[in-house]
């Protein structure tokens, strides 16, 4: 039996990125932590438990903190107003080579024993700190252009503009300069104050797969981050960010966007969600001094929606005089359709192609999948 299905994808551009491997995970966070994925120029909100990949950047603003744990058990806490790039890969079955590139800010590290072949370094524009297993704090002051090392326990090889030293426990150095002895009162304590005050519980009014365009109302409850008890005394706002251009959010259903601030009164609030594309997508809820929360949704196209898309596609093929596309539409059943890059939904894009608001950017691309199905890709642009 021959499969008679047609897959339609509408896109604006195609982006390829390396298959980066997971090297760490976010163990705790406080406030809106941002992560820049490999191959992207845009930072997106992070969440507790998120896997971090080799080559990703982490950014924190004022009042925002994050803790991450690496595959070897090393724990890193990142101070507010810090930007760090994570690089880590396995040298052998047991040994990792890890480097944190800190362009500004401060990080506390409790590094696991690196063994004979392992390596853990933090670099700044003015210095490099290399360790085999120890507890230390490194700060790069972007205004002064200097890097300060403080060693709690163990030893750190520290090379900077002023020299190269081996700093021991309870000592500090600026840019590899002279070592200064410290007392307990001299040690930083910010790393002990990074836990969030509140967390969120999210409850959608509909479960399971939903058809595209269907609105889901998500109840937001504020909890005590430690006890997880409902916090009805909380009043303020929570920021809801969509993680895809097709998934939109709203406070009341009158206007839709990719991000919205939701009013929380008596510890409760509501956000509305809808998607124009089938498949899985997510939102992240966050607030000041809060542990962010993620929730996933899955949408599908109904048979009626598929028939409507096929009818509009047939009309476009007829107007364009594209006999090949017209024959495919006649011979096959539309299996699925979606906008793969850009915004909007398939129905709206096809409608704008019909009316002339959009036009095809080149000829349709046909991919014969070998199982009887054919994928058609249309690249569109404003007329």
- What's the whole-number average pLDDT of the chain? 86
DSSP state of 185: G
For residue 348, is pLDDT > 90? no
- Where do the domains of the chain lie? 5-13+302-382, 32-192, 198-300
Q: Buried (b) or exposed (e) across 229-248, using 16+ Cβ within 10 A?
A: eebeebebebbbbbebebbb
Q: What is the pLDDT of residues 38-73, one digit of tens each?
A: 888 889 999 999 999 999 999 999 999 999 999 888
pLDDT band at 337 (very low <50, low <70, confident <90, very high): low
Q: Where are the alpha helices (DSSP H) in 247-372?
A: 303-320, 323-331, 346-355
What percent of the chain clears pLDDT 90, i.e. is strictly above it?
A: 60
Q: How far apart are CA 366 and CA 227, in angstroms?
A: 56
Same fold, 32-192 and 198-300: no
Taking residues 155-176, report their average pLDDT: 94
Architecture of the domain delimited by 198-300: Sandwich (2.60)
Q: What is the pLDDT at residue 164?
A: 93
pTM of the model: 0.73
Look at residues 364, 307, 320 and name the one whose alpha carbon lies nearest to residue 380: 364
The C-alpha torsion from 309 through 314 and 320 to 323, rounded to 10°, is 140
The residue among 182 and 303 whose pLDDT is bigger is 182
**Residue whose C-alpha is closest to residue 199's, from 220, 177, 184, 219:** 220
Per-residue pLDDT tens for 278-331? 788 999 999 999 999 999 999 987 777 777 777 777 777 777 777 877 777 666
Identify the CATH class of 32-192: mainly beta
pLDDT tens column, 77-132: 999 999 999 998 776 666 778 999 999 999 999 998 887 778 899 999 999 999 88
Q: Which of 351, 336, 279 is nearest to 302 (CA)?
A: 336
Torsion of CA 253, 258, 263, 267, to 10 degrees: 110
Q: Is the pLDDT of residue 19 over 60?
A: no
């Amino acid at each position: 039996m021959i499969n008679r299905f047609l897959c339609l994808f509408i896109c604006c551009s195609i982006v390829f990125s390396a298959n980066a491997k997971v090297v760490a995970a976010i163990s705790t966070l406080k406030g809106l932590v941002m992560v820049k994925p490999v191959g992207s120029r845009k930072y997106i909100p992070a969440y507790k438990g998120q896997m971090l990949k080799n080559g990703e950047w982490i950014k924190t603003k004022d009042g925002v903190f994050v803790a991450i744990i690496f595959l070897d058990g090393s724990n890193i806490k990142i101070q507010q107003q810090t930007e760090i790039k994570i690089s880590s890969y396995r040298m052998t079955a047991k040994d990792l080579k890890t480097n944190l590139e800190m362009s500004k800010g401060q990080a506390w590290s409790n590094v696991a024993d690196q063994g004979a072949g392992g390596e853990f370094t933090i670099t700044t524009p003015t210095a490099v700190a290399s360790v085999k297993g120890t507890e230390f704090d490194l700060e790069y002051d972007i205004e002064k252009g200097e890097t300060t090392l403080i060693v709690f326990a163990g030893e750190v090889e520290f090379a900077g503009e002023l020299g190269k030293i081996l700093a021991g426990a309870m000592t500090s150095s600026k840019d590899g300069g002279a070592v200064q002895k410290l007392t307990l009162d001299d040690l930083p304590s910010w790393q002990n104050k990074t836990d969030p005050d509140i967390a969120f519980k999210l409850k959608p009014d509909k479960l399971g797969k939903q058809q595209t365009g269907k609105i889901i109302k998500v109840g937001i409850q504020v909890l005590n981050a430690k006890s997880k008890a409902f916090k009805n005394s909380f009043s303020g706002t929570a920021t809801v960010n969509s993680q895809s251009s097709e998934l939109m959010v709203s406070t009341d259903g009158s206007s839709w966007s990719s991000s919205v601030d939701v009013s929380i009164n008596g510890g409760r609030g509501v956000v509305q969600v809808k998607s124009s594309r089938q498949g899985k997508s997510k939102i992240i809820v966050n607030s000041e001094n809060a542990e962010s929360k993620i929730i996933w949704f899955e949408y599908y196209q109904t048979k009626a929606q598929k028939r409507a898309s096929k009818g509009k596609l047939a009309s476009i093929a007829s107007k364009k005089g594209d006999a090949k596309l017209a024959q495919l539409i006649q011979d096959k059943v539309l299996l699925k359709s979606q906008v793969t890059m850009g915004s909007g939904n398939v129905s709206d894009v096809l409608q704008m192609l019909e009316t002339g608001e959009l036009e095809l950017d080149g000829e349709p691309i046909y991919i014969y999948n070998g199982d009887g199905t054919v994928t058609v890709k249309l690249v569109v642009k404003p007329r």
